[in-house]
Amino acid sequence: MMAQEDEDRRAWFRREILPLEPDLLAYARQFCRDGQTDPEDLVHETFARAIACKTWREIGNPGAFATRILRNCALDALRRRKVLTITAVADFERIEPIDEAPGAQSIVESRQELRALADAIAELPTQCRRVFTLRKVYSLSPDEIAVRLGLSVSTVEKHLVKGLRYCSEKLGRRNERKSKVDERRSWSGTRDHDAKR
C-alpha cells in the first residue's frame, strides 16, 4: 500500500511539478543576481521538497505550491549566508510571488478548450458518449459504468479508448490549426515590419 502511495506521488510529481521547471528556473534567477546562489540548486531543492510532500493530494494549484517552495528555499539560502549583500536583500524584497490568478487570456483559452472538448464529446456515438461522460465527468469506474449501462467491462473500456482517441485527435487538430495561425501572424508581422524599414 505504501509503495503504491509513493508511486502515485511520483506520478503526480512527474505530471504536475516537473513540467514547471523552465518557469521555476526563470523565477529562481531573480533571487540569484548577486551570484551567491545557483538558480538550478534552488529548483532542485524545490523539487526535493515537493516530491517529499505527504499532503500532495490536497494541492489544488501545483504551480503556486512550487513557487512558494522555491521562494522559501531562496529565503533559507539567504539566511544561511554569513554576509548578506545589499543586492540579495533588495532582490528578495522587490520580487513578488508569481501571480497565482490566471490571466484574462488564459481564462479565454481555457473556456475555448472546454467548449471544443464539449463539442467533441457531443459528436461521439450515443453509447460511447454515455460511457465517456460517466467516466470523465462523474468519475465512475468502468465496473460501475458496466453495471449502470448493462454492458461488459471490456465494452466499456473499448468505448473509453474510442472516446479518448477521438477527443484527443479533435483537440490536437484544433491546436495545430491555432499554432499555424499564430505562426502566420508572427511571420506576416515580421514581414510588414521588414517592409517598412
Q: For residue range 121-173, what is the model confidence (pLDDT) as tens digits?
A: 889 999 999 998 888 777 888 999 999 999 999 999 999 899 888 888 887 77
Cell numbers linked to 49: 521538497
Q: Quote the percentage of the chain above a pLDDT of 70.
A: 70
Model pTM score? 0.44
Quickly state the pLDDT bin for 114 (edges 50, 70, 90): confident
Q: Residue 66: which pLDDT band, with cuts at 50, 70 and 90?
A: very high
